[in-house]
Structure 1
């Protein structure tokens, strides 16, 4: 009797705990049981035994397909016909399988039965939980028991009522399958929302699936048509987004006067010589020819040599004073053959005593906005 009271107390304590998880299906049930014991089980009662017992069960459904329970049953066997009786109890654990993830199940377990002596049983059965109200279900079961020690066979039928704590009292139903998501042009916008189907691969689109018109370098040509991305903002571009160029000339002239019958450079640091040297440094791939000249008076052969000395003197200044490479400079004398002024005056003779040099560069430059 003390064992019965202890079992009932444990069940009551467990079911009263407020910490039962609401998302789990845990139940407590009570039942009445018809129990038919093997007639060879008791020597003192060599007749059919019929038990109209009762019991309690505490169970939990771990997944939609699997659950388990603890069962306790009070057994009152009576011989039929006759008046003999034996009282006892049965308790143990069952594993429960819900093959359709609904309310029907099969179960198997191990039990200990105490009547005139102790019996260790294995059991197998089928059952159904019938929903009758929110959280309430009717229990129906049939089971067979096998006594491992004496090879006896017992049978039972159960009718009861359970209350479910937490979980969903209705059987799980399969969630509706989502409609397939299709994005035919792979632009990241599904066809159902795509207002611009068949967008070209790689084109950036907005939330409607239409191309985003971008001009990242602000040259007036959209990125998807721009053959020259990242053009400087100062450049003017063509229809393909590429920088426009134009041909230009850059030139400089040098003229240096000399004293009569002299090849001495009077001012090697003159502004004109410095500007000319800077121009040559700006265009290091360009070479120059220094042309020397003389006035008309005097011997023509002498004047030719003097004009060449004047050209070479300027060449040496460019080399020594301004660091221009010698290989870039040539010097030639023309004597009196190329007079600037053919008058026979002191002014004309002064103008003709000179060197001349000229550089002209053809170059392509960017067209700016």
Structure 2
């Protein structure tokens, strides 16, 4: 991505110096143009995107590629109004790519025939997360012919709803209609048409696989699939199940149901996992060692399980209806007791949660 940043800087530098192939052509009032654009976008380091129902951070730096179209009109020789649309492909931290789009309107003021600046309103959406922003633009435009111009731009935008500050840079080609070169071309005597000759048969075209997924375009129902994903016979991504397990183990002192201070971080981790997966409920299983009477140990195991259940509900905000607890006394030892250390391992609570996610299958 360092190479992309160098390319962006080079394009901006080229635009701010008069190119040798540019010609002096003045824009005129009511000139209208259509254009194509290609660029890079630097996302804010706090921007996030949603993919497969999960939230991921968008890579910052000029790592988001944009391509699109634009249209504009010169209302005076100095003021221009423009609308545009860009398709966006962004890198996510640890989750591949996310897609989105960006569109908006700009008011541009031309200081002379080449340099201009502007203000605008922009809507940027990446991975189903949308932000409206105010945008400032600096640019340079040069004409290649009377009707064809190229331009390079850079600038920044500031979000209104989210505290995002983001940068962009792009280049574009613009074709102007009307008012460019109205002088009539001299007519020449038409040359006699040659006798038509039988055209040679065109060679058979080979099937095209634009996204390189092994399925030709004529059969590909899912275009632009990432090359590292496995696909089916129609070119669509294959998915597989991924199981994520979260375990909780808390030990207690002899004859105690008080939670040790060193064990509280593990309970917090389990609470965070439950908040990330609100469809899951939990059952806390309490245990004791074999010291003491069985009836007392049953009561103590229930108190230990209840203490951890209360910590999840009262200290970490988990709904009470999602938390259950049971005591098993000394009936389910973790290890056979031959020492004080063995008895300590049996004085515990245990809980396990599992969730299955659907993830793309890689090649």
- Where on the TM-score scale, by shorter chain, does this alignment land: which range? 0.3 to 0.5
Q: Higher relative CO (CA 8 A, sep ≥ 6), structure 1 or 2?
A: 2
- TM-score of the two chains, using structure 1 as the length reference: 0.41
* Larger gyration radius, structure 1 or structure 2: 1
TM-score, length of structure 2 as denominator length = 0.41
